[in-house]
Structure 1
Amino acid sequence: AAFGAGFNAGINPNYGSAVYVVDLENEGKVLNRIDLTDNSGGLANSLPSQLTAVTADTTSVADYSGAMLYGADLESKVWKINLTNDGSLYSATNLFDGQGDDNNGRSNFFAVTPSIGTDGKLWLYFGTGDQQKLQHMSGTIQNRIFGLKDNNFPKYKSVSTALIGKMKNTSGKGSICPTDADIGWYINLAANEKVTGKIAIHNESLFVSRYTPNKTNICNPGTNLLSEHGYGCGKAEKETKLGTGILTGAVVYKGQIYIGISGVPSSSSGTPAAGFTQHGNIIIGKPSKSSSTGGSVTQESWRELF
């Protein structure tokens, strides 16, 4: 088993910024500890999110035994760790640095969502937002949604860490999709807005839960929305306002979207948007029928074992 070293509240550099690989059949013996770098910027790095394992059981593109691990740490740095029979075992490389710090609030708390394209490229999706400071507002906060491509998958290769300049900004309506020279795309969220759950994928669309704090009274719940994006390019397809309160990550099952909501009584979150119904603290709706967005990513099937 492999897992992150956990959350350190962003303030304690003595633990958290590592990945542990343990042998569950030998009383949890630690086989290896992989330390992750800690950027400057006042935020003590850690890895609170679950790691994503890509294996031959989850995609036919994986031509190895074992697993390739992917994870985004608190500072929004994306890591690739080799637990396969090809190359050096336990090797780790930092694919991308989202440059999260205390100033921009660009922290990551959720697992990356993977997808394989027909071109064999692996894409990883995640969004940022400090879950410990959802009500915090500042002119310096700038959260983002990222779509990152691993050009070397299914092989492991140590690479130079890419920065935002290697990605295409697809925030605007007239923005251009990423080219082969780009490693992916990103979207800037609105002022003080934060992603509040793991990104879901269905029918070539990403589903992103977002939250904006109450500007007039931070003691009152803010507003939320569920945005849908083409996952090849990231362009917004639809934004649905679902009232007040904090949304969980969406789950799409048998053609229905399921989203949890917290922070408000179930009777006080507001009337759900057209096409959505609320049952207690669960909101249910239907995803939009979306066609190809111009990107070359087509999802295969995935299975996660817990």
Structure 2
Amino acid sequence: STTKNDIVNSTPSTPVVITADAAKEAYSGALVYINDIEGKITKINLTNMNGSYALDSSTGAVSQNTASASTTGSGISLYDNYTFFDLDVSTLTNNRYMYHSLDAGIGIKSNKLWLFGGTGDYMNLNDSMVDKSKVKNVMFGIKDKFFPYFGSEKSGGVSNIDNLSKCKDMTGNTTDCPDISDRGWYVELDSEKKVTSEPTLTRNVVYFPVYKPIKNDPTKCGAGEAYICAYDADCGRNLSTNLAEANKGIVVSNPGTTGSTPSPVSCYYVGEGVLSKIVSFGTKLYANISGTSINTQKTDIVVINAVDTGLVNYRSSWRESF
């Protein structure tokens, strides 16, 4: 990251690997997305694509030039890679460590490939010995504007790596949606909340497992409150109220305005402890919890109804007709 920090960088998360459709023999390989602890997202070409690409910034349309002697701009090769997004993680300003993997899928409304992620210091859940005013974690969704092509850092005349300033701030916003020119959306978590695993995308809703630390008691690591935050994948609108209604109207968390953001983030309370990755199966959501869940029969697992959108969302190939 270009932001000043003292983080020893690494990539502990699992890459997102989107493979080619086996039915289309002209294309093979995969596009790979990997994020590091500093919050940088890198795209790696493991496909057999070639040529160069141009982006129309006004419409978002991508065009491809077949590799030839007359092709302008640099082409692509196997193992090419570039970093296209940076969360500007810094221990001096936000402590947005990114330990967990991304999830990916095609937005039903936008018809674009989205990558979803969240931040939080997983090795220091209660932010012990940390200035709480400098804990500003986020949940986010960003578009890969070149998908299903590879693109490059300088494609379309853009030479800078994008960051959250190119995304729409949806914190407390329940009506708007990112414009075509926006790279995506983000929500800043309040009260030192943090994302404890990779998000889960299903039926165009992305679910984030979130932990709220117990304040002023550093001895109780992992004994805070567990929430599931539900967001519209394309727009970043908070759907946690819908999640509460799908589960007989159990109260949605509203911690007040004492956190790091002026707009508190309401999420669905599911118990005490730290949540694992949320698994979607049918109309249900499942997650392990380190403490006690709201379920009366199985206290070490969370089982709730998902938001009913009437839609189906799935991860497919990088070579897809839109």
| TM-score band w.r.t. shorter chain | 0.7 to 0.9
Equivalent pair of 2:176/2:237 in contact (CA under 8 Å): no
CA distance in 1, matches of 2:207, 2:116: 10
CA distance in 2, matches of 1:290, 1:57: 27
Equivalent pair of 1:229/1:236 in contact (CA under 8 Å): yes
Give 1:89 shift: 1.2
Give 1:288 shift: 2.0
CA distance in 1, matches of 2:143, 2:273: 32
Match of 2:208 in 1: 208
Q: Which of 99, 111, 114 is the aligned partner of 2:104? A: 114
Equivalent pair of 1:146/1:186 in contact (CA under 8 Å): yes
Equivalent pair of 2:118/2:139 in contact (CA under 8 Å): yes
Equivalent pair of 1:56/1:63 in contact (CA under 8 Å): no
Match of 2:8 in 1: 44
Match of 2:304 in 1: 285
CA distance in 2, matches of 1:163, 1:178: 15
Amino acid aligned to 2:90: D
Match of 1:84 in 2: 47
Give 1:278 shift: 5.0
SS of the aligned residue for 1:247 comes to coil
Equivalent pair of 1:117/1:300 in contact (CA under 8 Å): no
Amino acid aligned to 1:128: T
Cα 1:217–1:278, aligned 2, differ >3 Å: closer, same or farther? farther
Segments ≥4 residues shifted beyond 6 Å: none
Cα 1:189–1:175, aligned 2, differ >3 Å: closer, same or farther? farther
Cα 1:254–1:152, aligned 2, differ >3 Å: closer, same or farther? same
CA distance in 2, matches of 1:172, 1:223: 21
Match of 1:300 in 2: 314
Match of 2:69 in 1: none
Match of 1:260 in 2: 288
Cα 1:196–1:74, aligned 2, differ >3 Å: closer, same or farther? same
Equivalent pair of 2:126/2:215 in contact (CA under 8 Å): no
The percentage of counterpart residues that share the same residue type is 30
Gaps of 5+ in 1: 1-36, 293-297
Q: TM-score, normalised by structure 2?
A: 0.72
Cα 1:214–1:162, aligned 2, differ >3 Å: closer, same or farther? same
User: 2:210 aligned with 1:246, yes or no?
Assistant: no
CA distance in 2, matches of 1:174, 1:252: 24
CA distance in 2, matches of 1:237, 1:197: 19
Give 1:39 shift: 5.2
CA distance in 2, matches of 1:59, 1:79: 27
Identify which of structures 1 and 2 has the higher relative contact order when contacts are C-alpha pairs closer than 8 Å and 6+ apart.
2
Amino acid aligned to 1:148: I
SS of the aligned residue for 2:165 comes to helix
Task: Spell out, residue by residue over 1:205-254, the C-alpha distance to the aligned partner (whole angstroms, 9 max, x if none).
Answer: 11111011101422221111111111111111112111211111210112
User: 2:152 aligned with 1:152, yes or no?
Assistant: no
Cα 1:212–1:58, aligned 2, differ >3 Å: closer, same or farther? farther
Cα 1:120–1:231, aligned 2, differ >3 Å: closer, same or farther? closer
Match of 1:68 in 2: 31
Matches within 5 A, 1:176-215: 176-215=176-215
Which has the larger Rg?
2
Query: How many residues were matched structurally?
Result: 252
Cα 1:58–1:108, aligned 2, differ >3 Å: closer, same or farther? farther
CA distance in 2, matches of 1:142, 1:58: 42
- Name the structure with the higher strand share: 1
User: 2:185 aligned with 1:222, yes or no?
Assistant: no
Q: TM-score, normalised by structure 1?
A: 0.76
User: 2:135 aligned with 1:141, yes or no?
Assistant: yes
Give 1:101 shift: 2.0
Q: Which of 89, 103, 122 is the aligned partner of 1:100? A: 89
Give 1:44 shift: 1.7
SS of the aligned residue for 1:139 comes to helix
User: 2:170 aligned with 1:170, yes or no?
Assistant: yes
Amino acid aligned to 1:66: G
The Cα RMSD (Å) is 2.4
CA distance in 2, matches of 1:139, 1:163: 21
Task: Spell out, residue by residue over 1:77-123, the C-alpha distance to the aligned partner (whole angstroms, 9 max, x if none).
Answer: 11101111112111111111001122311011111111123555211
